[in-house]
Amino acid sequence: METILIVDDEKNYPFVLSAVLEEEGYNTITASNGVEALEKIKAHDIDLVLTDIKMPGMDGMALMSHIKAHNPDIPIIIMTAHGTVERGEEAVKKGAHSYIFKPFQNEQLILSVKIALNMYQVIRQNKRLQNELQSRYHFGNLIGKSKNMQEIFKTIQKVAPTNASILIEGESGTGKELVAKSIHFNSSRRDAPFVAVNCSALAENLLESELFGHEKGAFTGASTLKKGRFEISENGTLFLDEIGELSMNLQVKLLRVLQERSFERVGGIHPHPLDARLITATNKTLSHEMKEGRFREDLFYRLNVVHFSLPPLRNRYEDIPLLAVHFLEKYTKENKTKHPVTKIDQDVLRLFYEHEWPGNIRELENVIERAVILSNNDTIKTSDLPGDLRGKHEKTFNPDDISIQTSLPETLALIEKNLIERALSRANYVQANAAKSLGIKKSLLHYKIKTYQISIGSKN
């Protein structure tokens, strides 16, 4: 719950505003002059300041410059009397987020507060990330604060010590291999090898001898004995990637190995025990492949004792800033850039929220690596991003684009429409989720969509 500090020397005003804002679900604190306001800011965690401009002693402008100097992350909304547009403009030039004329409608106040809090959220988030990176959102090399990822961390902890076979499904770049490694390194097998084989990279017969190994002279070209991956991964973990690409023939052979927990090298007759723990991964939906007759049902059940489904990045936007900062640190260290790149511009984060991320975390990692190399100073800017990400920038709202002649209600409507569009896009057009992220009721969102004629069908 956000806390708003209301500063006004008129006796009753703060109480009225306080009631309106508390009704909206905010915490409020009041102060009757600038000095008292500064004390309250020191003592409490304030998210927004709503201040009158005309006050005896330290007035609203002086209060604002104090706040700007010591707490630049707190947005300030100035309240000014009708007919003093210049004072409001001046306040905005000096760093107020916006101004509002007294007397105002409750809805007008609430909307201004909501917009200011939304805009500053990105900035504050950026700062909090640094601390969060060190905390509970880390599981080894895996990072994630989304509910999905937190669940995945818990499941890894539970299954790692067991020998259960594991199937990991997820789009390319969602972290399947990283999860497999994390399971390995959290198990008692951590000192034995982690052996990865990509089933789609080799032709069938090559893959067979890669997995099973072969005896000397087993086939033309087999001039020496070769140990296979089943053998090399002894006591460790065998990770079979792209298992959905395994041929029917090899599916039968793998099934037999799993049933008997033993295998023979190609051209050999001696059975060798299979000691490895098996983890498989695929970017296909194996149950679907099974129904289509491309994957054996009996093998599927052998592999799928424990199932992980890694969500695409577009379904866990809350992980983006955390991952972005993580990769920023990684590539700044690796590249030994002339100047350390330590910050991400808030426009960049906004673009990240709007992007679909078809390549998931791998794509985000590449974007950051490239930006670190291109960056001219300590901050990644939109100009350091590849074109396909920047192309969408027009969609982002920029207050400077609005003519100063546009009336306040019109301006607020434009901002509101933009925020709603972005929230919808971010929530994949699930209106209940968009409403939640905007902090409004679904019925109100529905009404606004109709009023502003916002398109809710496609994503572009």
Ligand X SMILES: Nc1ncnc2c1ncn2[C@@H]1O[C@H](COP(=O)(O)OP(=O)(O)O)[C@@H](O)[C@H]1O
The reply on whether position 196 binds ligand X by CB under 6 A is: no
The reply on whether position 177 binds Mg ion by CB under 5 A is: yes
Applying CB under 6 A, which of residues 27, 172, 186, 411 lies at the interface with ligand X?
172
The reply on whether position 311 binds ligand X by CB under 6 A is: no
Please give the Cα distance from 311 to 157 (Å, whole number): 18
Which of the listed partners (ligand X, Mg ion, none) does 144 bind, with a CB threshold of 5 to 8 Å by partner kind? ligand X
Interacting residues with ligand X between 144 and 163 (CB under 6 A): 144
Please give the Cα distance from 96 to 117 (Å, whole number): 13
What lies within 8 Å, CB to CB, of 141 at 6+ separation is: 178, 181, 182
The reply on whether position 329 binds ligand X by CB under 6 A is: no
The reply on whether position 280 binds ligand X by CB under 6 A is: no
**By beta-carbon distance, which residue lies closest to Mg ion?**
177
Cβ atoms of 287 and 275 within 8 Å: the answer is no
Torsion sign (Cα): 199, 202, 204, 205: negative
Long-range contacts of 369-372 (CB under 8 A, 24+ apart): 369/327, 369/331, 371/341, 372/328, 372/331, 372/332, 372/335, 372/337, 372/341
The reply on whether position 244 binds ligand X by CB under 6 A is: no
Which of the listed partners (ligand X, Mg ion, none) does 365 bind, with a CB threshold of 5 to 8 Å by partner kind? ligand X
The reply on whether position 365 binds ligand X by CB under 6 A is: yes
Which of the listed partners (ligand X, Mg ion, none) does 174 bind, with a CB threshold of 5 to 8 Å by partner kind? ligand X
**By beta-carbon distance, which residue lies closest to ligand X?**
175
Please give the Cα distance from 38 to 28 (Å, whole number): 15
The reply on whether position 176 binds ligand X by CB under 6 A is: yes
CB of 363 to Mg ion, least distance (A): 13
The reply on whether position 173 binds ligand X by CB under 6 A is: yes
Stretch that binds Mg ion, among 28-36, 171-179, 265-273, 326-334 (CB under 5 A): 171-179
Nearer to Mg ion, 89 or 177 (CB): 177
Size of the site for ligand X (CB under 6 A): 16
* 3-state class (DSSP) for residue 286: helix
Please give the Cα distance from 404 to 333 (Å, whole number): 45
The reply on whether position 361 binds ligand X by CB under 6 A is: yes
Query: What distance separates the 2 farthest-apart alpha carbons in the chain?
Result: 98
Strands 226-227 and 213-214: antiparallel
What lies within 8 Å, CB to CB, of 276 at 6+ separation is: 195, 230, 233, 234, 235, 236, 237, 238
**Tokens found for residue 126:** 């950026």
Q: How many residues does the chain have?
A: 460
Nearer to ligand X, 177 or 264 (CB): 177
Stretch that binds ligand X, among 136-144, 244-252, 375-383, 452-460 (CB under 6 A): 136-144
Which of the listed partners (Mg ion, ligand X, none) does 361 bind, with a CB threshold of 5 to 8 Å by partner kind? ligand X
CB of 176 to Mg ion, least distance (A): 5
Element (H, E) at 206: helix 204-212
Size of the site for Mg ion (CB under 5 A): 1
Token pair 């789009």 in the structure block, residue: 171
Please give the Cα distance from 400 to 382 (Å, whole number): 17
Provide the b/e sequence for 337-346 (b: ≥16 CB within 10 Å): eeebbebbbb
Applying CB under 6 A, which of residues 16, 110, 122, 142 lies at the interface with ligand X?
142
Which of the listed partners (Mg ion, ligand X, none) does 157 bind, with a CB threshold of 5 to 8 Å by partner kind? none
What phi and psi, each to the nearest 5 degrees, are found at residue 79? -105, 130
Nearer to ligand X, 23 or 334 (CB): 334
Please give the Cα distance from 73 to 58 (Å, whole number): 21
Stretch that binds ligand X, among 176-184, 262-270, 395-403, 428-436 (CB under 6 A): 176-184
Which of the listed partners (Mg ion, ligand X, none) does 440 bind, with a CB threshold of 5 to 8 Å by partner kind? none
**Tokens found for residue 218:** 């087993």
Interacting residues with ligand X between 379 and 408 (CB under 6 A): none
The reply on whether position 314 binds ligand X by CB under 6 A is: no
Q: Would you tell me which residues interact with ligand X (CB under 6 A)?
A: 141-144, 170, 172-178, 323, 361-362, 365
Q: Would you tell me which residues interact with Mg ion (CB under 5 A)?
A: 177
